[in-house]
Structure 1
Amino acid sequence: MTASTVVLWRHGRTPFNAENRFQGQLDVPLDDVGRAQAAAAAAHLSTLPIDVVVSSDLVRALDTASALTSLTGHTLTRDPALREVDAGEWQGLVGAEIAQKWPQEHAAWRRGDDVAMGGGETRTRLGERVAAAVEAHAAAVPDGGTLLVASHGAALKAGVLRLLDLPVTAGSAFAGFRNAHWAVLRRRSRGWALEEYNAGPPGAAVGAEG
């Protein structure tokens, strides 16, 4: 039992995305644009041979995933291990506010250093958490099947790096996930290979990268 394909899908836009606020693990819902993005992406993803759908338990990811399962009839499994990064005291703030209160930490984070965001998680810890969850769910998919994971921008990017066995410092070579966009990983003999990154249907590109 193991999936040969994993689709990693970021949630649609939220009001915090529109304002470029750090969401972290705050439970912020989709806005109208985000719901439209999720519906557009779901219409495309519903044509894929998906076997299992799992999601972060935060409402923005759940509602995005539900746009797909309402079309396909899949059972939707919730997993808190797929939540966004714990950004500690940075959650709910915009970049300028963070830079003013924590100038050194914010500058280090922007450089790509592996700092604990707002006293919360580091990118390394985040990647380990998300990759472990993806691998666990993939192991429960029938051989050769497809797992779809609905999660969050920073979580998915960190998870991709870990699944590809790349260092945290390689993150600067990857753009952030756009709202309602996805990546596709295929299992190879030596591990996972990245087949698609930041794929999405027309109309889903509005919103901040995460």
Structure 2
Amino acid sequence: MTTLILLRHGRTTANTEGVLAGDSPVPLDEVGVVQAQAAGARLAGLPLRAVVTSPLERCKQTLTLALPGVNPAVEPGFTECGYGDWSGRKLSELSDEPQWRTVQLHPSAVVFPGGEALAAMASRAVTAVRRWNEIVAAENGPDATWLACSHGDVIKAIVADALGLHLDLFQRIHIAPGSLTVIRYTPDRPFLVRLSEDQSPLALPPAGTSSDAPVGGGAV
């Protein structure tokens, strides 16, 4: 059922300014450029059968730096959550909003004013993953690997789904800018292989479609 590598875009000027970027066209900052290039070094040599990106500029810029010469497919399902009226505002201001605690403790109930429900974001992101899993497997076989560049909350929602976690628990997951997260999908269950990896060279799991987990944890 394929292996998915999720790349979070590099750090942006909005991140450093403490602003919720939303769908604003914010660029990577100097650190974000280095993070994107470092992600590319960790991906070097991996047989990526498809590369997909959020429509937003910070993800496209990250892929241009990480995988120069690759022309990614644009997937709206991987775009940032629609934060509506919260977009462009300081996080320090938003933390005083009454809905902030709901975002922290009960995100499945959140609909951002003038924007999207977090549950709707999670649903369309997971739907996009499943659709691309089918496309990549049909064209390249079940052992194929593909990559999607997206955003922190989107990747957290995809990881939560892979782990069978309720969306209300997804705030327990942290995804660093420029990091790589790996999920191997099998007929019975997904396996979270790497989470927010941003240091060592990326090692993929052994090829295979078995849904069985090794008793005792296995050797790799």
1:14-163 equivalence runs, <5 A? 14-70=12-68, 73-100=69-96, 103-114=97-108, 115-141=110-136, 142-143=140-141, 144-163=143-162
Partner of 1:207: none
- Quickly say closer, same or farther: Cα 1:78–1:123, change in 2 above 3 A: same
Q: 1:93-141 CA distances to partner (integer Å, 9 max, x unpaired)?
A: 11222234xx321121122432113342222111111111122122111
One-letter code of the match for 1:18? T
| C-alpha separation in 2, matches of 1:27 and 1:137 | 25
Deviations 1:75-108 (A, max 9, x none): 31112221110001110111222234xx321121
Q: Provide the secondary structure at the position in 2 that maps to 1:118.
A: coil
Q: Is the 8 A contact 1:56 1:78 kept in 2?
A: yes
SS across alignment from 2:193: strand
How far does the alpha carbon of each residue in 1:9-31 deviate from its partner, in whole angstroms, 9 at most, with x for none?
10001110112211112121111
d(CA) in 2 for partners of 1:62, 1:140: 21
Q: In the alignment, is the contact (CA less than 8 A) between 2:64 and 2:70 conserved in 1? A: no
CA distance in 1, matches of 2:65, 2:106: 33
Question: 2:72, 2:187 → 1: CA distance?
Answer: 29
Q: What residue is the counterpart of 1:10 in the other structure? A: 8
C-alpha distance in 1, partners of 2:2/2:173? 23
Query: Gapped runs of 5+ residues in structure 1?
Result: 203-210
Q: 1:131, 1:163 within 8 Å by CA — same for their partners in 2? A: no
Larger-gyration structure (1/2): 2
Counterpart of 1:63 in 2: which secondary structure?
helix
User: Secondary structure of 1:81's match?
Assistant: helix
Structure 2 regions of 5+ residues with no counterpart?
201-220
Distance in structure 2 (CA, Å) of the matches to 1:166 and 1:190? 16
Using the TM superposition, name which of 76-85 and 116-125 deviates more. 116-125
Judged with a 3 Å threshold, the aligned counterparts in structure 2 of structure 1 residues 117 and 138 are, in CA distance, closer, same or farther, namely same
2:71 and 2:130 mapped to 1: Cα distance? Answer: 19
**CA 1:113–1:137: 2 relative to 1, 3 Å:** closer
TM-score (norm 1): 0.86
Contact 2:77 2:128 in 1 (8 A): yes
Shift of residue 197, structure 1, vs aligned partner: 0.3
Structure 2 distance, partners of 1:64, 1:112, is 31
User: What percent identity do the matched residue pairs reach?
Assistant: 30
Give the Cα separation in 2 of the matches to 1:104 and 1:152: 24
Q: Is the 8 A contact 1:11 1:64 kept in 2?
A: yes
Give every structure 1 segment of 4 or more consecutive aligned residues whose post-TM-superposition deviation is greater than 3 Å: none
Equivalent position amino acid for 1:84 in 2: E
